[in-house]
Amino acid sequence: MPDVTYLNAHWYDSHEVLMLAYVKTDRNDKNRQSFHCAWCGIFITDSGQLFRINGADSHSFVNPSGVQCNFRTFHHCENVIVHHDLYFEHSWFSGFGWRFLMCARCLHHLGWKYDRGNEHMDIHGFFGVLQEAVESVSADDGT
């Protein structure tokens, strides 16, 4: 990667810092995980799409039925169906409404799509994917 070497050498004077930057990049690539539907195995999203809101990309709430919901938030999902009904009742994210999110192949419930409540909000929307609804596969195994 000659272009990257040049860029890093330009930004960092120290050779030691340059090497640390390389190690960090490699480790991130190996940690990249893809998430697949736990029931049918179709690809849903990957860890590069993780999205932090309220300071975290991992969330845990109890819904009005008393069910513990552990989920992670993502910028983007594929192979999903988003229900057109938008609900603002019991939303866990202030200003955002939610829609049911289902797997496009097997129609299992995966979580929720969150959409902004008005057009002046900076964040348009994001996905909340239940941890038990997906299986993670490391990027190395998937290729």
Q: Which of 75, 83, 99, 105 binds Zn ion (CB under 5 A)?
A: 105
Is residue 44 within 8 Å of residue 77, measured between CB atoms? yes
The rounded distance, in Å, linking the Cα atoms of 138 and 136 is 7
Q: Tell me if 56 contacts Zn ion by CB under 5 A.
A: no
3 state SS of 112: strand
What is the rounded distance in angstroms from the CA atom of residue 7 to the CA atom of residue 91?
A: 44
Least distance (Å) from Zn ion to the CB of residue 78? Answer: 12
For the window 12-51, what string marks contact with Zn ion as x by the rule CB under 5 A? -------------------------x-xx-----------
From 44, 101, 102, 103, residue interacting with Zn ion (rule: CB under 5 A): 103
CA separation for the pair 78, 76 (Å, rounded): 7
Closer residue to Zn ion in complex, CB, 37/129: 37
